[in-house]
Amino acid sequence: MCRIFVNTDPILYEARSRSVRIHGMVTSIRLENLFWTVLSDIAAEQGTTTNRLIVTLHDEVVEAHGAVQNLASFLRVSCARYLSMTAGEPLPDEVRTKAGSTGEAMTGGASVIALWRDRSPSDRA
């Protein structure tokens, strides 16, 4: 196998725990440094903090599914999906949307906020 993965800087896969306050409750989340960096990038793109982004993601998954089974795993998957979207790969069907009234399908690289704004109000609920 190629050395792309083997030569990864070990600091990227070193896990770190951080405390996050979610509606008054402090919870500890343990993620690899790479995922903390991606969450920070997403938060910066949206003009918010990493902690606020995590609270928002938590609230959205609770609204959609009633509970969060494993917040750390959900955050890792969210980061992987974000990286996939920004790598120019086609978006998954559930987030594919139309760009404005032109009917042109959006592709990877669009901001997460732009994807959300372009969805119809019924799709956001």
Nearest-angstrom CA–CA distance, 12 and 103: 40
Are 30 and 15 spatial neighbours (Cβ–Cβ below 8 Å)?
yes
Q: What is the pLDDT of residue 118?
A: 62
- Distance (Å, rounded) from C-alpha 56 to C-alpha 43? 10
pLDDT band at 115 (very low <50, low <70, confident <90, very high): low
Q: Which of helix, strand or coil describes residue 64?
A: helix
Q: CA 108 → CA 11, 15, 35, 51, 77, distances in Å?
A: 28, 28, 19, 25, 16
pLDDT at 5: 81
Residue 65 has pLDDT above 70, yes or no: yes
What's residue 59's pLDDT? 96
Per the model's pLDDT, the better-predicted residue between 116 and 22 turns out to be: 22
Cα(54)–Cα(36) distance, integer angstroms: 11
CA angle in degrees (0–180, nearest 5) for 84-64-70 = 65
- pLDDT at 102 exceeding the cut of 50: no
